[in-house]
């Protein structure tokens, strides 16, 4: 299944290795990518309205992934969100999906799981 050509995926993660490795993979899938080290950086970036899907770390210093999700909703931005987390607490997944997330992937996740989540997110647009 082909991804929508050059849909912009914004990656918000305080882990530099994630910000360096994910864009390569996403580019291979055919997406355009912007990365941000914090929720605050993303909110100030001017990319909110251009983002087709947000890959968002759950736990970050400052504004957390869940707080960013809430803030975007308050501002009227319905950008689909795929959460990623290194904290394998299965109990948070249903909560995030209930609050509107497309999926919550636990690191390390497979390329196919990520692509499936992104395709689902982009179909919601």
Put simply, whether the predicted model's pTM sits higher than 0.75 gets the answer yes
Given a contact cutoff of 8 angstroms between Cβ atoms, the answer to whether 53 and 79 are in contact is yes
The residue range of the domain holding 66 is 8-124
Q: Is residue 3 part of a domain?
A: no
Given a contact cutoff of 8 angstroms between Cβ atoms, the answer to whether 50 and 94 are in contact is no
**What integer pLDDT is reported at residue 55 of this predicted model?**
97
Summarize pLDDT for 40-85 with one digit per residue, the tens: 999 999 999 999 999 999 999 999 999 999 999 999 998 999 999 9
Q: How many domains does the chain have?
A: 1
Q: 83: which strand partners?
A: 56, 104
Phi/psi at 103 (nearest 5 deg)?
-165, 170
**What integer pLDDT is reported at residue 24 of this predicted model?**
95
Summarize pLDDT for 2-38 with one digit per residue, the tens: 544 589 999 999 999 999 999 999 999 999 999 999 9
Query: Domain of 39: which CATH number?
Result: 3.40.50.2300
Phi/psi at 70 (nearest 5 deg)?
-65, -45
Percentage with pLDDT > 70 across the chain: 94
Q: Is residue 94 part of a domain?
A: yes
DSSP 3: P
């Amino acid at each position: 299944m082909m991804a929508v050509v050059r849909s912009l995926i914004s990656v918000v993660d305080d882990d530099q290795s994630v910000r360096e490795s994910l864009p390569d993979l996403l580019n291979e899938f055919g997406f355009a990518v912007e990365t941000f080290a914090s929720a605050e950086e993303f909110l100030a970036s001017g990319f909110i309205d251009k983002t087709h899907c947000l890959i968002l770390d759950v736990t970050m210093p400052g504004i957390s992934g869940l707080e960013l999700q809430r803030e975007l909703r308050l501002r009227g931005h319905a950008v689909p969100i795929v959460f990623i987390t290194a904290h394998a607490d299965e109990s948070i997944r249903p909560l995030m999906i209930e609050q509107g997330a497309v999926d919550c992937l636990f690191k390390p996740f497979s390329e196919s799981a990520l692509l499936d989540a992104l395709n689902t997110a982009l179909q919601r647009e």
